[in-house]
Amino acid sequence: MKNKIIILIFTAFIFSCNLKSDTALNSEDTSFDQAEFSADSEKPSQHNLTLIAAGDNLFHITIINRANEDGKYNFTPIYSEIKDLVENADIAFINQETVMAGESYGYSGFPKFNTPQSLARTLSDTGFNIINLANNHAMDMGKDGLYATLDLLETMEEITVIGARKTDNSHQIITKNNITLGFLSYAHSLNGNPLPDDNPNLVSMINRNKMTQEIKALRPLCDFLVVSMHWGDEYHLAEPGSDQKSLAIFLAEQNVDLIIGHHPHVLQRVEKLKRPDGKETLCFYSLGNFVSNQNRKERILGGIMLVTFEKEDDALSIKNSGLIPVICHFEAGYINTKIYPIYKYTEELLKKHSLYSSEGDMDFDFFHSVLRKLETKIIMHNPF
C-alpha cells in the first residue's frame, strides 16, 4: 500500500510538471488504477477484455507529402508516442477516414482522399486490429478504390474490417479472453457518391430498419455488442446533435452495449442510456480527430476510448470506461506530424505547434476546459 501511494504521488508530480497549468481536472476524473486493466487481477471465473478506440485517421495531402522518403511513404513516426497504448490493449479500433486505393489512383487529400497503402502496415504494426471503413469518404475513389482498399486489408490476417465488405456479411465477431464481441458499423453519408448497383451493401449506411434487423440477428451471438457510428455535424464541440441523441436512444432500445462515435472532428461528451433489459448503453458520441492537419485548436484535441469488458460466470458488464486525451502535433510547414497522449505532451512541444501563435489561447487550460465537458473519466497516465 505504501508503494502504491508513492507511485501515485510520483505520477501526479510528473503530470504537474508536464502540464504547467493552474487548471487541474477533478482528481476523481484521473483516478484510473492500472490494476483495473490488468488480467492478473482476474478471479478464476472472471474474464476481462480491454478495448481501445481512436477517432478519425484523416490523412491530408500535407501529411502524405511529408512522409515521402524517395518515393516510399513512412508513417511510422506519427504513431510512435501512442504505440505502447495501442499494442497493450486486447483489441484496438480505429476509424480509417481515407481509402488506400493505391498509387494508380493518385495520392490526394481533401476533398477526395487517397492515402498510400503503406499506412495499412503501419496501423497494424502500431497495434490496431479493427479498421472501420464506414464513413463519408469511403467512396472517394469509387467502387474500385474501396475494393482495392479491402483487397489490401484482406492480405493482413491480423486486421478485421468493419463497415464495408465485398459480400453481404455486415457484422464481425471476435472472441478473446473467453469474451465474444460483436461489431456493426454505419455511416450517415457518402458525400453524394452512390453505392454500386451490383453491391448496394458495400458500405453500411444508417437505416433504422436495416440496423434493427442486423442488431437483432447479432445480439444472441455475442456477449457484448459494439456499434460504430459515423454521424452528426462537423465541429460541434462537446455536445452532440439531436440526430445523434435520437440514434443513441434507438441503439439503446436494441440493447447495444457500446457506441463508438466519430465524424464531428472534435470531442463530444459521453453518456449512459437505459436499455429495455435493465442494463445501460455506453455512448462515446465523438472521439474527435486522431491524425489530421486540420487547423483549429479544438480539432487537434482527440481521445482514445478505453473500456474493460468483464465476464464473471454468467454476469456481463462494462467494468471501467474512460478517455485518454491525445494531441495531434504538427509544426510550421506541416512537418513532424505526431500523436501524443496528453500526459506526454509538454509546454515546449505546445509552443512548437503550428497553431500555437495563430490560435491565441491554445494552451493546456483550453484543453482542460474541453475535457471537463465530456462527462467521463479522463485518464492522465498509461493505464497498462
The 10s digit of each residue's pLDDT in 54-112 is 999 999 999 999 999 999 999 999 999 999 999 999 999 999 999 999 999 999 999 99
Distances (CA, A) of 104 to 117, 144, 210: 11, 11, 35
Per-residue pLDDT, 25: 45
Per-residue pLDDT, 45: 86
Q: Is 277 exposed, middle or buried (0-12, 13-18, 19+ CB in 10 A)?
A: exposed
Distances (CA, A) of 240 to 133, 266, 267, 305, 307: 22, 10, 9, 17, 21
Query: Which residue numbers in the chain have pLDDT < 50?
Result: 1-35, 39
The structure's pTM equals 0.90
Per-residue pLDDT, 360: 82
Per-residue pLDDT, 352: 97
Per-residue pLDDT, 42: 61
Grid cell of 73 as nine digits: 511513404
Three-state DSSP at 20 gives: coil
Per-residue pLDDT, 236: 97
Per-residue pLDDT, 241: 98
Q: Which of 52, 98, 57 is nearest to 262 (CA)?
A: 57
Per-residue pLDDT, 32: 42
CATH no., domain 48-371? 3.60.21.10
Per-residue pLDDT, 169: 86
